[in-house]
């Protein structure tokens, strides 16, 4: 499968600020990447599908203006949580589809 | 009814035991079936990837898919304490850019 690098692994931010999470496909040119959110003791919930060179496709109930996704190259997708609030605190994980779906190591976001 | 059902456990077994993990699903269009292992605060790691019905074996792990019953299983033989993790089943309709649908995950503890 692909090798996926996700940064940062954890971040703490103040309420109202924005946070950017990066997902890099190190050995695979990924036209499609996926962003998931996982709350404690819950499964992964797909937030959006990131498409290289075009707009992301968001799942129902996910605010596209709050969770900005940019997939400007075949190796990098970013998720920006804008005007973060405590309820946005969660574990965010990206994945790349290639010979199965390979996941990044995740980013634990805590909004205080 | 959720698309994918998985007993969240937790499940605790002694070292050396055979572990059976299961998921059921309702969408007959699912064709690709995966099992992931997730350690605490880490991204999911792909264990098994199968297409359509049948069995697949990899070391101590065996994945089974019964599409007629909409039932998939993961067997772990000679379980080790290092197998302690959360195991998630996942499935998709296509192997391309199709999104994954996850089960809730089963927390497994293997006691030495």
pLDDT tens for B72-102 read: 999 999 999 999 999 999 999 876 657 889 9
Rounded Cα–Cα distance for residues B66 and B71 (Å)? 5
Chain B nearest C-alpha distance from A15 (Å): 22
Residue B89 · residue B74 · CB < 8 Å: yes
Render pLDDT for A16-56 as a digit per residue (tens, 0 to 9): 999 999 999 998 888 889 999 998 878 899 999 998 888 89
Confidence check: pLDDT of A1 > 70? no
| Residue B40 DSSP class | T
Q: What are the backbone angles phi and psi of residue B70, rounded to the nearest 5°?
A: 55, 55
Rounded Cα–Cα distance for residues B48 and A99 (Å)? 11
Rounded Cα–Cα distance for residues B45 and B47 (Å)? 6
> What percent of chain B shows pLDDT beyond 90?
77
Whether the CB of B3 is below 8 Å from some CB of chain A: the reply is no
Cβ–Cβ below 8 Å for A106 and B43:
yes
The CA-atom distances, in angstroms, between B30 and each of A69, B14, B70, B111 are 27, 34, 9, 35
Instruction: Give the pLDDT of residue B96.
Output: 62
Q: What is the mean pLDDT of chain A?
A: 92
What letters, b where the CB count within 10 A reaches 16 and e where it falls short, cover A27-53? Answer: ebebbbbbbbbbeeeebbebbbbbbbe
Whether the CB of B75 is below 8 Å from some CB of chain A: the reply is no
Partners of residue A77 in chain B, C-beta under 8 Å: none
- HEC readout, B58-103: ECCEEEEEECCCCEEEEEECCCCHHHCEEEEEEEECCCCCCCCEEC
Half-sphere exposure of residue A42: CA atoms within 13 angstroms, side-chain side = 11
- Tell which residue, B58, B55, B47, B54, has the closest CA to residue B86: B47
Residues B104, A75, A26, CA angle at the centre, nearest 5°?
Answer: 80
Confidence check: pLDDT of A98 > 80? no
Cβ–Cβ below 8 Å for A100 and B104:
no
Residue B80 · residue B15 · CB < 8 Å: yes
Rounded Cα–Cα distance for residues B40 and B27 (Å)? 29
Task: Please tell me whether the peptide bond between B104 and the residue prior to it is cis, using omega within 30 degrees of 0.
Answer: no
């Amino acid at each position: 499968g692909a090798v996926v690098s996700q940064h940062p692994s954890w971040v703490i931010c103040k309420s109202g600020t924005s946070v950017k999470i990066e997902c890099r496909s190190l050995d695979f040119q990924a036209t499609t990447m996926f962003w998931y959110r996982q709350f404690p003791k819950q499964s992964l919930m797909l937030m959006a599908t990131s498409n290289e060179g075009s707009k992301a496709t968001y799942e129902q109930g996910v605010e596209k203006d709050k969770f900005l996704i940019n997939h400007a190259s075949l190796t990098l997708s970013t998720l920006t949580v804008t005007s973060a609030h405590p309820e946005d605190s969660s574990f965010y994980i990206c994945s790349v589809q290639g010979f199965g779906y390979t996941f990044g190591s995740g980013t634990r976001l805590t909004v205080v | 009814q959720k698309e994918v059902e998985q007993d969240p456990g937790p499940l605790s077994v002694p070292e050396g035991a055979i572990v059976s993990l299961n998921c059921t699903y309702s969408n007959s269009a699912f064709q690709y079936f995966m099992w992931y292992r997730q350690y605490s605060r880490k991204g999911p790691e792909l264990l098994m990837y199968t297409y359509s019905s049948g069995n697949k074996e990899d070391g101590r792990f065996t994945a089974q898919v019964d599409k007629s019953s909409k039932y998939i299983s993961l067997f772990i033989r000679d379980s080790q304490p290092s197998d302690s993790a959360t195991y998630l089943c996942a499935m998709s309709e296509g192997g391309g850019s199709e999104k994954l649908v996850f089960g809730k995950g089963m927390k497994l503890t293997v006691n030495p």
